[in-house]
Structure 1
C-alpha cells in the first residue's frame, strides 16, 4: 500500500486553509506570516497609510537566517504596498476618499505661510507642527504661537514679520 503525505499551509491568524507565506520587514527585522488572500489584503490595507506617509529607505543589512539583504525584503514590502495601492485606487471617474491629514509637503507649506521659516525642506516633520496645524484648524492658535516664539522653528526676522 502506498502512502501520500499532504502538507497544507494554514493562515497563522485564522487557521483557514490555503494560505500563502508572505514576507515583510519593519524595524530592520524580517518576518514571515502565512495568510489567506483576505488576510493579505488586510495587511496591505493596514500598512498602506504608513508607507504613503513615510520615506523609502534602502537598508544594507543581511538577515542571518536567510542570507537575504534587507533591501530585498524591503522591495518585497514595497511590492506589497504597490499591490495595495492598485487595489484601493478608485476605478474610472470615482474620486478617492478624502484624506483628513495633509501631506508633509502641504504641512511644510502651511508652516512656511504661517512664518515658520526654519522647517527643513525634507525629512521628518516636527510632531508639534502637525499638532499646531490640527489645533489651528479648530481655531486654537496657541501651539502655532509657541512655535513662532521658538528659535528652532522661526528666525528672529520671520518672528518680527509675523507680529
Structure 2
C-alpha cells in the first residue's frame, strides 16, 4: 500500500500558509519560526538595523587563524624533518611518526 505524506507549514503568527522555517538566536537561545513570505520580510525588516551594526559570531576569521597556525606548524615540522634528513613531501599530510618525533624533540 502506498502512502503520501504532505507536510504543510502554518505561519506561527497569523495561521496562514507558511513558506519557510526561519531560524534565529537571541541571548544564546536558538529559535525557529514558520513564516509566510510577508511575515519573513517583516522579521528581516525589523531586525535589519540591528544586523547592519552587528558582527558575526564565530565566522571565518577564527577558522583562518587555526588554518594559518596549522600551516605554520606543518612548515616548521617539514623544515625540522628536512634538516635531519627525514624525507617528507612538500604537500599533504605529514606522517604521524614524523610529527611524534618533532614533538618529542621540541
Which bracket does the TM-score occupy, shorter chain normalised? 0.3 to 0.5
When normalised by structure 1's length, the TM-score is 0.32
When normalised by structure 2's length, the TM-score is 0.47
